[in-house]
Amino acid sequence: MSAEANMTTTNTVTPNTINIDGQDIPFKNGQTIMDAALAAGVYIPHLCHKPGLTPHGSCKLCTVDIGSRSMSTSASDRRTQTKFSVDIDRRSVSACTTPAVAGQQISNDTPALNEVRKTITQMLFIEGNHLCPACEKTGNCTLQAVAYHLGMLDGHFPQFFPRREVDASHPTVMLDLDRCILCELCVRASREVDGKNVFAIAGRGINAHLIVNSPSGKLVDSDLETGDMAVHICPVGAILIKEHGYEVPIGRRTFDLHQVGEIGLEPVILAKARHTNE
Amino acid sequence: MSQPSRTITIEQLNTFIADAGLHSSHLLHILHAIQQRFLHISHEAVNEVASHLGLPISQVESVVEFYSFFYNTPRGRYNILLSNCTSCGYKSGGENLLRMLCHRLRAVAGKTRGDGLVSIDETSCIGMCDHGASLLVNGMPITRLDADKIARIADLVETETPLADWPADWLRVDDNIRVITGDLTAASGKPSRMASSSTSGLLLNNDFVAGGGLHAMLARGIEGTLAEITQSALRGRGGAGFSTGMKWKFCREAQGDAHYVVCNADEGEPGTFKDRVLLHSHADAVFEGMTVCAAVIGAKQGFLYLRGEYRYLLPHLQTVLARRREQGLLGNSILGQQAFNFDIEIVVGAGAYICGEESALIESLEGRRGVPRNRPPFPVTHGYLDQPTVVNNVETFVAAAHIALCGSAWFKSVGTEKSTGSKILSVSGDCAAPGIYEYPFGVSIQQVLNDCGAKSVQAVQIGGPSGALINPAKFNRKLGFEDLPTGGSFMVFGQGRDLLTIIVNFAHFFAHESCGFCTPCRVGTTLLKNSLDKIAGGHGTQYDLDEMKRIGELIKRRSHCGLGQTAANPILDSLQRFPQIFEQRLAHGNFEPYFNLDGALEEARQVTHRDDAAAHLE
C-alpha cells in the first residue's frame, strides 16, 4: 500500500495518455494498450489480435514491459513471490488485453523485447509443421511476415514434428492443422462476426488442437460457408479455400508489397485472402 | 449397480444421460457417469450429451479431451492410475511399481489390455504423499504400496474380485496430524509421533462446534464480522496471499445479479494434502467459513470444487452438507434469519492441475476447459457466470470460520506482522513422520525438519514444484509472506536422492499440466522437458544449460498465468543452487544434437540381426 502511495506522488501524469518508448499516446477509457498504440500508428507485433474481435492474449507476441507511476504489482502476481532474479519493477503484460491506464510507461520496440518475440515466434514454428516454400499462404502469411520483421532466420529449436490431421471434407474449404498456431481468430470470427460457432480448441498443453463443431467432427457437416469471416481470417495457411491456389503470384503478395508493421493493414490482408469470384 | 460395459446403443445412452442428468446436470458430472458406466466417452456420447444439455458439440468434445480422467477410447474394467509424484509416486519407494504391475498383469502402460480387463497408467500427484506410493483404482485410493501389495492387487484384478471385496484397510486414508512438542523434540532430535486423532495448533487444536461461527457472526453483525476478518489480516492460504478481508469487501461492493462463494478444493500441487485432511476431519469449519463469506458478500449459492482425485471424499462431504441443512446451518432462513439463504453444491473435477488457478476453476465450474481468463476483470467483480465471486482456498475458509468464532485478536496472537495466524503444512518425502503439521507463520525450515525427523537433508522443496528449491545453507529461512510463501507443500529430499531425477519429474509434470493457451507455457514447458531428458540421458552440454536458463526465464516472465510463471522455478533454482547435479551429467564438448544418429540405426540393426561394433557409430 505504501509503495503505491509513494508512486502516485512522485510525478504528475498527463490525463489519459500512456507512454510507449518515450512517446506520449492518448487513449480513451476502455481502450487497451494495443488499441491506443494502433490508433496512434505505433506497431506492437501481434498474431492472435484483430481489431473488432474480442482480445485474446494467447500468442504473447504483443508482450510489453510496463513500469508505472500509478500502479503497484498485484499481490497475487506469483512472479513477485520467488527469490529468483526477476525485475519486478517492470511488469510484463499482453498489450492486447491490458487496459490503458494513465501514466503507464511502456517499453515496446526494444532489442530485448524483440528478441523475446523472436523466440516466441520460433516456438510457434517448431511446434507445428510449417514448410513455407510449399505453402499456398506464403507471402500472405502473417506468421511468416512477423518472423521476417523480427529477423528470425531459423526455427532454432528442434522441430516437434507433430502428427496432425488434414480435413478436406468440405467442398470449398480445407483445414490443414499442420499450420495451425492456435490463435483462435477463426473461433472468435465465427462466433462474433459470422454468428456461428464452427471452431473450438480441444485437448490441452502441447496436444491442444482446433476442432470443428459438427456431429462428425468434419468440416463438411458444419454450417461453414466460403464467405464466412472465419474462412478468411486465418493468419497462416491452416484454413485455405480450395481450387484457388496461387492466383496472386509470389512477388505480388501482401507482404511482398507491405511491411507487417504498417498500421491499418487488416483490410489489405483480408482483401488478399478473398477471391475475385466471391 | 449395473456392470460397466463398453457396448452401447443410442437408446441406452439417452436413457442413461437423462438419468444421470436428474442427479446432477453439471457437464463434468454427466461425463463422469458415462465414463464410469461405459468406460469411455464415445463420439456418439459426446453428441448426445451436447443435445441433452443444449451445448455445442465442440464444447463437450473439448472438455472430454481436456481432463485427464475422461477418455475417448475404452479403459479397462479396472482402471488403475499410479501417482507419479516424487512423494506418493510409483518410484518413491525405490522400485518401479508401475513396471511391476504392468509386468504382472501383462499390460502396457497407457493401453487397455486386449481383453478389456485392466488399464494401467500414471497420473499427477493424488495427494497421498504422507502414505508413500499410492494409486487410484476406479477412483478409489490405495496407499502404502510395495511389491507385495502390487502382487496381491494383480491377483485381485486377474480374478475380477469386486473392489468392495478388496481388503478394507487398503482403502483407509489416515489424517496423520502430527503434534509438535516443541523443546523436547528439538532436544532429542526424535520425531514427535502421536496418535493421528491428536491435534495441534491454532486451527487444528480448536474444538469447532458446527454453527458456532455463524452464531458468533449473527451476534457481532455482518459488518462487524467483515471487520474482524479484515483486522485479522488473514491472507489466502493457497499461496498467493491476497488479503481475505479485502477480497470479501471488493466482492460485497461489486454490483451483480447474484454473488457466489467458491471453495477451491482442487489441491493439485504435488506434495500438498492438507485440504484432504481438512475436508475429511474439519468439513464443518470449511462449510461454515463459506457460509460466513456468503453472509458478508450476499451470496445465495456456493460451490466446493473438489479435485477428481478426492472423489472418494464426496459421500462424506454430502453427509456433512445434509446434516448442516437439518441443523438449519444451510438452506433457507439459516438459524432462523429470514433473509439468510445459502446452499452449497459440490462440483468434482476430472484431473487438471490448472483448475487450481481461480479463473480456470471458474471456467471448469461453467462446464468448459480449465483455461485461465484474462485479468482484469478479476473474479471479485466478474467471476462465476460473470458475477461477483469470492474464490478462497479450503484452509482460508477454515481460518475465516475460526476468526468469526474467536475474533481477530485470537488469530493474530500467533504468526508474524505480515503473516498472521498459522499455516498448515503437508510434510512428505525423506523424513520419519510425514503428515500434517500446523505452525505459527515465521517458523524456520530447520524447525520443521527437526520436528518431522528429517536427517541428512539434501534439499527441501517449499510450496511444491511451483515454489522454491532450498539448499541446506538456507534452512534458516522462514515460512511466511515476508520470506518464503507457501501453499503448504513441504517436500524433503535426503542425501540419497538424485535431485536431477526430481527436477526431471517436475518438468514432466508442468508439460503435462500446461493448459496450452499461451505460447510460452505450451511450447516452453515441453522444450524444458526435452532439454532435461537430454541432459539426464547423458547427452546434454553447457549449451543446453544456457538454453534452459534463457527459455526458463522467458516462460517465467511472459506466460499467461501462475502455472507458466512458476513452471521453470525448479530448473532455475537448481541451476543456481545445485549446478553440480547438471554438470556431472554433461557430455564433453560444447554441443550435442538432440538427434541421436547411433540410436537412429537401431531399427536397421534389428532388421539385420546385428549388434556388433561395426554396426554402431561409436
B525/A contact by beta carbon, under 8 A: yes
Q: Which of residues 373-432 of B touch A (CB under 8 A)?
A: 374, 376
pLDDT for position A171: 97
Task: Tell me if A59 sits within 8 A of A185, measured CB to CB.
Answer: no
Please check the confidence at residue A11 and state whether its pLDDT lies above 70. no
Q: What angle do CA B168, B169, B173 make, to 5 degrees?
A: 115
Please check the confidence at residue B181 and state whether its pLDDT lies above 70. no
Question: Quick one: DSSP state of residue B591?
Answer: -
Closest approach of A254 to chain B, Cα-based (Å): 26
How large is the average pLDDT for residues A93-103? 96
Please check the confidence at residue B189 and state whether its pLDDT lies above 90. no
pLDDT band at B10 (very low <50, low <70, confident <90, very high): confident
Cβ separation A204–B514 shorter than 8 A: yes
pLDDT band at B184 (very low <50, low <70, confident <90, very high): very low
> What SS3 state is found at A133?
helix
pLDDT for position B194: 38
How large is the average pLDDT for residues B417-427? 95
pLDDT for position B200: 58
Please check the confidence at residue A64 and state whether its pLDDT lies above 90. yes
Express as a percent the part of chain B with pLDDT over 90. 87
What are the chain B neighbours of A75 within 8 Å (beta carbons)? 240-243
Could you say which of A57, A200, A215 has the minimum Cβ distance to residue B560?
Answer: A57
How large is the average pLDDT for residues B294-318? 98
pLDDT band at A88 (very low <50, low <70, confident <90, very high): very low
What are the chain B neighbours of A97 within 8 Å (beta carbons)? 374
B293/A contact by beta carbon, under 8 A: no
> What SS3 state is found at A30?
coil
Cβ separation A206–B516 shorter than 8 A: yes
Residue-range domain boundaries for chain B? 10-66, 78-166, 209-412
Digit-coded pLDDT (tens) for B39-58: 999 999 999 999 999 999 99
A71-75 contact pairs (CB < 8 A, 24+): A71/A4, A71/A7, A71/A101, A71/A103, A71/A104, A72/A3, A72/A4, A72/A7, A75/B240, A75/B241, A75/B242, A75/B243
Please check the confidence at residue B129 and state whether its pLDDT lies above 80. yes
Closest approach of B511 to chain A, Cα-based (Å): 7
How large is the average pLDDT for residues A69-77? 43
Digit-coded pLDDT (tens) for B489-533: 999 999 999 999 999 999 999 999 999 999 999 999 999 999 999
A96/B contact by beta carbon, under 8 A: no
pLDDT for position B197: 32
Cβ separation A59–B518 shorter than 8 A: yes
B364/A contact by beta carbon, under 8 A: no
**The architecture CATH gives domain B78-166:** 3-Layer(aba) Sandwich (3.40)
Could you say which of B47, B62, B520 has the minimum Cβ distance to residue A120?
Answer: B520
pLDDT for position B279: 98
pLDDT for position A271: 77
Fold of B209-412: Rossmann fold (3.40.50)
Task: Tell me if B86 sits within 8 A of B500, measured CB to CB.
Answer: no
Cβ separation B511–A75 shorter than 8 A: no
Question: Quick one: DSSP state of residue B484?
Answer: B
Cβ separation B466–A78 shorter than 8 A: yes
Please check the confidence at residue B236 and state whether its pLDDT lies above 80. yes
pLDDT band at B207 (very low <50, low <70, confident <90, very high): confident
pLDDT band at A12 (very low <50, low <70, confident <90, very high): low
Amino acid at B116: G
B551/A contact by beta carbon, under 8 A: yes
How large is the average pLDDT for residues A226-235? 96
pLDDT for position B593: 80
Closest approach of B617 to chain A, Cα-based (Å): 22
Phi, psi of A63 (to 5 degrees): -60, 130
Cβ separation B556–A79 shorter than 8 A: yes
What are the chain A neighbours of B376 within 8 Å (beta carbons)? 99
> Is pLDDT larger for residue B584 or for residue B361?
B361
A92/B contact by beta carbon, under 8 A: yes
Please check the confidence at residue A97 and state whether its pLDDT lies above 70. yes
Question: Quick one: DSSP state of residue A134?
Answer: G
How large is the average pLDDT for residues B176-181? 81
pLDDT band at B187 (very low <50, low <70, confident <90, very high): very low
Please spell the DSSP secondary structure of B89-158, one letter per residue.
STTTTSS-HHHHHHHHTT--TTSB-TTSSEEEEEES--S-GGGSS-EEETTEEE-S--HHHHHHHHHHHH
How large is the average pLDDT for residues A225-240? 96
Task: Tell me if B277 sits within 8 A of B436, measured CB to CB.
Answer: yes
> Is pLDDT larger for residue B586 or for residue B588?
B586
Please check the confidence at residue B310 and state whether its pLDDT lies above 80. yes
What are the chain A neighbours of B64 within 8 Å (beta carbons)? 202
B522/A contact by beta carbon, under 8 A: yes
pLDDT for position B74: 96
For each of the domains in chain A, give its residue range(s) and CATH number, in order of start: 2-109 (3.10.20.30), 114-273 (3.30.70.20)
Digit-coded pLDDT (tens) for A147-173: 999 999 999 999 999 999 999 999 999
How large is the average pLDDT for residues B452-461? 96
Express as a percent the part of chain B with pLDDT over 70. 95
Nine-digit cell string for A111: 532489442
Phi-psi region of A163 (alpha: psi -120 to 50; beta: other; left: phi over 0): beta
pLDDT band at A267 (very low <50, low <70, confident <90, very high): confident
pLDDT for position A278: 42
Question: Quick one: DSSP state of residue A73?
Answer: -
How large is the average pLDDT for residues B109-131? 97
Digit-coded pLDDT (tens) for B326-365: 999 999 999 999 999 999 999 999 999 999 999 999 999 9
Instruction: Using CB atoms within 10 Å of the CB of residue B293, give its burial: 0 to 12 exposed, 13 to 18 middle, 19+ buried.
Output: buried
Instruction: Report the C-alpha gap between B493 and B470 in whole angstroms.
Output: 10
pLDDT for position B5: 61
Calculate the average pLDDT of chain B: 93
Digit-coded pLDDT (tens) for B462-490: 999 999 999 999 999 999 999 999 999 99
Please check the confidence at residue B434 and state whether its pLDDT lies above 50. yes
pLDDT for position B199: 39
Task: Give the torsion through C-alpha atoms of B398, B401, B407, B408, to 10 deg.
Answer: 40
pLDDT band at B206 (very low <50, low <70, confident <90, very high): confident
Complex ipTM: 0.92
Instruction: Report the C-alpha gap between B254 and B232 in whole angstroms.
Output: 22
pLDDT for position A118: 98
